[in-house]
Amino acid sequence: MPEFKIAESIVSSEYTFALLFIIVLYVFYKWINKNYDEHKADSKERENKLMVHLEKSNETQERTSRTLEKIEGSLHSLEKRMDDGFNDVWEKIEKFDK
């Protein structure tokens, strides 16, 4: 029975709970740091993937912009030819009317 009394006095001591609290706090701190480091690595990987995707998107937008500029030039030349052709036809119609 004296072992029981010694164990009871150890368990009822404030120092025991303080020591347990410090141990639990330390374990919790290590767990938080581990999760933070994993999260940091995941975030870095996500950021790198996002930057690669952003660069590809920029390249695609540049190609689209160049294509639209070419289409605009072609459309402008087509409109000019249509206007010139329409003016020629209109002039010939006016000559027939006279």
Summarised one tens digit per residue, pLDDT across range 11-53 is 777 788 888 899 999 999 999 998 888 899 899 999 999 999 9
How much is the pLDDT for 98?
64
Instruction: Determine the distance from the C-alpha atom of residue 82 to the mean position of all C-alpha atoms in its chain, rounded to a whole number.
Output: 47
**Which has the higher per-residue pLDDT, 74 or 7?**
74
- Both structure tokens of 12: 């009822």
**Which has the higher per-residue pLDDT, 74 or 89?**
74
What 3-state DSSP class applies to 12? coil
Q: Quick one: CA torsion of 14, 19, 20, 26, rounded to 10 degrees?
A: 150
d(CA 57, CA 66): 14
Percent of the chain with pLDDT over 70: 98
Give the model's confidence band at 84: pLDDT under 50 very low, under 70 low, under 90 confident, else very high: confident
CA–CA distance from 33 to each of 20, 27, 38, 40, 94 (Å)? 20, 10, 9, 10, 88
